[in-house]
Amino acid sequence: MNATFPTADALRAALSGALDGLPPKQAGQAVDRLIAHYRGTVPTGTPVLRDRSDVAAYAAYRMPATFEAVRAALGALREAAPDWAPATHTDVGGGTGSASWAVAGEWQGQRTTVLDWAEPALALGRELAAAGPESLRTADWRRARIGQDLELAPADLVTISYVLNELTDPARTALIDAAAASAQAVVVVEPGTPDGYTRIIEARDRLTAAGLTVAAPCPHSDACPIEPGTDWCHFAVRVSRSSLHRQVKGGSLAYEDEKFSYVVATRFTPDPVTARVIRRPQIRKGQVLLDLCTRDEALGRTTVTKRHGGLYRAARDTDWGDAWPPPPGD
């Protein structure tokens, strides 16, 4: 991991500087509309970020959470392919660059191209990137319509984060197929809702049909063992909230939990985890209950007790979304 550049801190500082003076009322109104879109209550197929006010509100409301969710997915990719690093990266529908900031925090030296159909988002993305590492400062921020006619140049890594909900069904299919054809690794992240999970499963199915292998979060590339309509696979990351973030959202807590669903698939052969913790561990007196998705038994629960010694201590430190058992050295 890139330990020489504090990417998360730099992003927060860049956001603070770029958004200084933004009227909270104006930002709040834009955020209300964005929340309606995020929850799927507005039509799709058109750009969501229409002007500078929308972009600034999005940056305050969504950018930190998107960054953390994508960073978690990229961490799972690094876990499955520790010796692999992308030389080129395409951020599809990247907007202000949340996913590109996350990629810049994981690897160094890659050439990044950010594609989005909203020029105001790209403009703010360029502005924020000036405070980032070299791969962001030298990135190509390019306007492109994210739809059925999108052509993607070959790239080692393609990220598609919080984009599929904005597209029509044919455009989603075309985008995933284009990513599968152009990339060595594809990372797709969506909201951790039943609808978001459904879109992830659709993307996962198309990626594997195109010959890619699932690297994360699943321990296998077989069909998801969750029966449709009964549950959905999602995870959570904790996000620090700035004072502006609290203003536009009307909250007082210094953090929030971002729930997300994702899939990582690769052209090369990854080493997926043996099992993934798919619920918050239940810690009880003398035991820890772990709900797992495994390679062989699909969904199941394991109970780790004090009799397991070091494994029990590891279980107490294990979090939702982690590999089980922990990798050697953890």
State phi, psi for 3 to the nearest 5 degrees.
-95, -5
DSSP 38-74: HTT-S--SS-S--SHHHHHHHHHHTHHHHHHHHHHHH
Task: Assign a CATH topology to domain 7-266.
Answer: Rossmann fold (3.40.50)
Q: Are 14 and 132 in contact (CB under 8 A)?
A: yes
DSSP structure class, residue 133: -
Tell me what pLDDT residue 4 has: 44
Amino acid at 76: A
Q: Enter the tokens of residue 43.
A: 């039509």
CA-derived radius of gyration, the chain = 19
pTM: 0.89
Tell me what pLDDT residue 48 has: 60
Mean pLDDT in each 10-residue stretch from start to end of the chain (330 residues)?
Answer: 65 78 66 64 54 73 90 97 98 95 95 93 92 94 91 97 93 97 98 96 98 97 92 92 61 78 98 96 95 90 94 95 85
What is the location of CATH 3.40.50.150 in the chain? 7-266
